[in-house]
Amino acid sequence: MFNKILIANRGEIACRVAVTARRLAIQTVAVYSDADANAKHVAVCDESVHIGGSAPKDSYLRWERIIEAALATGAQAIHPGYGFLSENEEFAQACARAGLVFIGPLPASIKAMGLKAESKQLMEKAGVPLVPGYHGADQDPALLQREADRMGYPVLIKASAGGGGKGMRAVDKTEDFAAALASCKREAINSFGDDAVLIEKYVQRPRHIEIQVFGDTLGNYVHLFERDCSVQRRHQKVLEEAPAPGMTPELREQMGAAAVAAARAVNYVGAGTVEFIVEQRAGGDMAFFFMEMNTRLQVEHPVTEAITGQDLVEWQLRVASGEPLPLRQDQLQISGHAIEARICAENPDKQFLPATGQLQVYELPACLTFERAPGAVRVDSGVRQGDAISPYYDSMVAKLIVHGDSRAQALSRLDTALARTHIVGLQTNVQFLRHVVQSRSFAQADLDTALIPREAAVLFMQERVGLRLAVASAVAHTLQQEQPSQAQQQAPGNWRDPWSQRDGWRAHGPSLRRFDFEFAAERHTVLLRTLHDGTLQLELAGEVATLSFGPAIQGLDVRFGLQRQIVSVYAQGAVRHVFTSQGATQITVIDALAHAGDAQAEGGRLTAPMPGKVVSFAVKAGDTVKRGQTLAVMDAMKMEHTIAAPIDGVVAELLYAPGDQVTEGAELLKLVA
């Protein structure tokens, strides 16, 4: 076994690898960029090396610097994590030349599976089922259009060197093909340096089911069962679970055998995932087709660890050091059900626009980590409270994993754990994840990759916390903050001085206090009366109810009329972030004097939603445009974002050129109504 390894990654996966290494008494070396100088993964490793600038191309993709760091610190092997260099054949070869063990597959295996078109040809020879499509080398747009027309729509355009949902476009009709192809190629060249694509028939009501495989240097292979990753947005996974609902023993055996055959065909060593698209047919039958093989550890590996009780990172380390696989196929068993939710910094209601900012509040549910044992609730995270989510890297903040004896129990645990996840300082998808978990389709395992758009009416723009509870929570929080602390109450003289009390007592009649709030884009005035006996009454929209509150184990125990909830409230400027078992919301305290001089927002401005690069403009100065028309395309946090016209108007001026880097809020062009 190794004595020291370098982890060529960042964030939660670097922290995850370090946990297992520590348990096995292996020293770890972290690498970090300018932006990650104070990152969690640097703190959890034994030593660290600075490797360059904040952008990945200046640091985490500079494999020469990473190898230098490994040699300088005496590391014997490099764990690439996932993303960045994990599937880079040249990096794996460079490690071998430097005398370092690459904790992953052989370079030839990476090459064989790295290009989707070539890998499909290889799988066809190995007898693995394929989706009908065009996988040829000729990339003439006219030929690609003809192939798509021949297959019949819908079709899926996929970057041949792609992964992680990038460089993929679904096309429903021939008129949309050319624009989708151009966009797909742009994203592919930016993400992978290769704009070659393949085209496949888009399978109707597909499920995305993948098989975890492992091989060792002695020629042994096993699969560790399947994961269902059907719930996706932008072709990227949102929720993953194991085992796959509705999976029969016969289909599991067939898919497992196909996955092992795929691994054997490329002499695979280490952890890999064979991804299949599964077509759901009438009568409940399912047919599966090879999609791709990811030659690395997957983001969703914890659900496999939960149902098998195995540490897959430990397996990687043992196999890379020359040991045989820890278990045979007949020794592996499934126990219970596990689900993973990816918590991301993004706004689901704005097409999952990535968000940046500081984690002012970052409270996670009480859980067990893999450092101790796989438990009912597990969190894999690479950040801490106070850390910033920057535009340089992926938007994932953490992974929340739950395990139960059954899927129903796991669902209940996941919803409870999400309710106890409190993040303030930037937008996240936590409430959206709760909506998905509570949706009819997911709860009943009516799964396919179109679940999110199919359930859009109940997943997006849903306010689960009502006005009454939001107001009561905000007022209770304000009053609690105004109360003197126990130390102040016990200070000499204070407890005897009635004028130092802040309980609202008046000599004549009740006290009256006014609050102004903004909730769900509407303004509300609330009156708080403190009666002579100390009773609090809130008047909201003509209704009067008694308010009382007190401390709870976590947060405040708030009673408003007949309603009672344990809530947690966090103040961020004028905004109060309210977390309840029903959901979370925001309510804003309005200071009328402070906002008296505010001007109307300037109409016709079009600004960058976040830091990024201008990819292209679809208009020029003088063009007349309609509301909703595409004006520009930006690239930010590894995704393309379309900027559309908010009004009908005329383009007065373009303020940037394609390729320019822009900051958040920068005005891209001027539009006159």
Query: Do residue 125 and residue 256 come from a single domain?
Result: yes
Query: Do residue 581 and residue 518 come from a single domain?
Result: yes
pLDDT of residue 373: 43
pLDDT of residue 371: 44
Query: Do residue 540 and residue 404 come from a single domain?
Result: no
Query: Do residue 251 and residue 127 come from a single domain?
Result: yes
612 domain residue, yes or no: yes
288 domain residue, yes or no: yes
Assign 3-class secondary structure to 176-231: HHHHHHHHHHHHHHHHHCCCCEEEEECCCCEEEEEEEEEECCCCCEEEEEEEEEEE
- Per-position b or e across 179-193, b if 16+ CB within 10 A of its CB: ebbebbbbbbebbbe
pLDDT of residue 485: 56
pLDDT of residue 273: 97
Q: Give the CATH number of the domain where residue 197 resides.
A: 3.30.1490.20
Q: Give the CATH number of the domain where residue 574 resides.
A: 3.30.700.30
Residues of the chain short of pLDDT 50, as ranges, are 369-373, 487-488, 595-603
Q: Give the CATH number of the domain where residue 629 resides.
A: 2.40.50.100
Query: Do residue 197 and residue 213 come from a single domain?
Result: no
Query: Do residue 231 and residue 122 come from a single domain?
Result: yes
The pair phi, psi for residue 647, each rounded to 5°, is -145, 165
Query: Do residue 539 and residue 657 come from a single domain?
Result: no
Query: Do residue 42 and residue 146 come from a single domain?
Result: no
d(CA 73, CA 28): 10
Q: Measuring CA to CA, which residue among 371, 326, 118 is closest to residue 214?
A: 326
DSSP single-letter state for residue 282: G
332 and 308 Cβ atoms separated by less than 8 Å: yes
Final residue before a domain boundary, out of 201, 234, 252: 201
30 domain residue, yes or no: yes
pLDDT of residue 484: 66
Residue 579 bridge partners (DSSP): 568, 584
Assign 3-class secondary structure to 355-391: CCEECCEEECCCCCCCCCCCCCEEEEECCCCCCEECC
388 and 356 Cβ atoms separated by less than 8 Å: yes
* DSSP character string of 114-125: HSHHHHHHHHHH
pLDDT of residue 594: 52
Question: How many structural domains are present in the chain?
Answer: 6
pLDDT of residue 369: 46
112 domain residue, yes or no: no
How far, in Å, are 231, 241, 355, 583 from residue 348 at the CA level?
14, 21, 10, 15
Q: Give the CATH number of the domain where residue 60 resides.
A: 3.40.50.20
Query: Do residue 234 and residue 121 come from a single domain?
Result: yes
496 domain residue, yes or no: no
Query: Do residue 122 and residue 250 come from a single domain?
Result: yes
* pTM as predicted: 0.81
How far, in Å, are 70, 184, 414, 439, 640 from residue 171 at the CA level?
45, 11, 34, 27, 17
Q: Measuring CA to CA, which residue among 636, 575, 643 is closest to residue 390?
A: 636
Phi-psi region of 595 (alpha: psi -120 to 50; beta: other; left: phi over 0): alpha
From 296, 318, 420, 434, active-site residue: 296
Q: Which domain holds residue 37?
A: 4-103
d(CA 280, CA 207): 8
What's the order of all strands across the beta sheet hosting 337-344?
Answer: 286-294, 270-280, 206-215, 221-233, 236-242, 337-344, 396-404, 377-381
3-state secondary structure of 17: helix
565 domain residue, yes or no: yes
3-state secondary structure of 22: helix
R_g over Cα of the chain: 28
pLDDT of residue 190: 84
Q: Is 296 marked active-site?
A: yes
382 and 10 Cβ atoms separated by less than 8 Å: yes
pLDDT of residue 330: 97
407 domain residue, yes or no: yes
494 and 478 Cβ atoms separated by less than 8 Å: no
pLDDT of residue 592: 59
d(CA 556, CA 153): 55
3-state secondary structure of 426: coil
202 and 154 Cβ atoms separated by less than 8 Å: yes
Query: Do residue 620 and residue 578 come from a single domain?
Result: no
Q: Give the CATH number of the domain where residue 297 resides.
A: 3.30.470.20
Query: Do residue 215 and residue 274 come from a single domain?
Result: yes
